[in-house]
Amino acid sequence: MSAERDQERAQERALELADSLERVRQRVAEAERAAGRAAGSVQLVVVTKTFPAVDVRLLAGCGATDVGESREPEAGEKARACADLPLRWHQVGQVQTRKAGAVAAWADVVHSVDRERLVAALERGHARALERGERPAGHVLDVLLQVDLADDDERDPGRGGCAPAEVPQLAEAVAGAAGLQLAGVMAVAPAGVDPRGPFERLAEVAAALRAEHPRASAVSAGMSGDLEAAVAAGATHVRVGRAVLGARPAIV
């Protein structure tokens, strides 16, 4: 009886995720159209933090290709539990320097690099992961620079991100690091403001970066609440959690 009920719940969850993923895909497609951008020009990264590996598996079954995580050890454990799936794994949240090695063992993209010490720690951690065979030979870790778009006196260290003025030097550090590839920029819109201004600002930072590093073309911006504004401003990646998976405990 209870096994039956479990199976019923699993089926319900599968339907629920398929449905919400489809709705978010439609939101992205509509935002692309509204912005006059090509269909499929925005990559959806489904942020699965706090949700179990079984949800990641269901999402992969619905065609999700990119998933985002935030915290150790949950992230690494989930990525290893799903290693058989054809997924690209993104670290979207802040990375403590001492956790960089753990992140480099599973992530394909780190969106939140905001200081040189973290670049050095990721470079070392990635080299070690290659040595240990945790990453296939030739694996490259894509790195986005997280930019804090708040005014100088309103920077929130909890949200992370470097000042726009720090981007060029940090970009050089990543470009010079073995095994890391500078891929673009990322931002989280400051709370309580219209996100359009900050996202336009990010687009300017991204254009300046591309002028020096033409391959660093990714712009990661937009979450469940503001993905339309991000796509309108030129985001190439949106990071969506709640709108696909449902509410999370408030701590993350």
Ligand X SMILES: *Cc1c(COP(=O)(O)O)cnc(C)c1O
Could you list the residues that contact ligand X (CB under 6 A)? 47, 49, 70, 92-93, 188, 223-225, 239-243
Phi, psi angle pair for 220, to nearest 5°: -95, 110
CB of 5: closest distance to ligand X in angstroms? 28
Nearer to ligand X, 168 or 225 (CB): 225
Nearest to 21 by CA among 237, 227, 244: 244
Q: Which residue is nearest to ligand X (CB)?
A: 241
CB of 247: closest distance to ligand X in angstroms? 9
CB of 104: closest distance to ligand X in angstroms? 18
CB of 23: closest distance to ligand X in angstroms? 13
Nearer to ligand X, 213 or 237 (CB): 237
Nearer to ligand X, 6 or 156 (CB): 156
Nearer to ligand X, 71 or 128 (CB): 71
CA-CA-CA-CA dihedral for 251, 239, 142, 117, to nearest 10: -30
Nearer to ligand X, 28 or 240 (CB): 240
Q: What one-letter code names the amino acid at 234?
A: G
CA 3, distance to chain mean position in Å, is 36
Nearest to 190 by CA among 231, 232, 220, 161: 161
The verdict on whether omega for the bond into residue 73 sits within 30 degrees of 0, i.e. cis, is yes
CB of 45: closest distance to ligand X in angstroms? 8
CA distances from 30 to 42, 63, 228 (A): 11, 19, 8
Is-contact 115 109, C-beta < 8 A? Answer: no
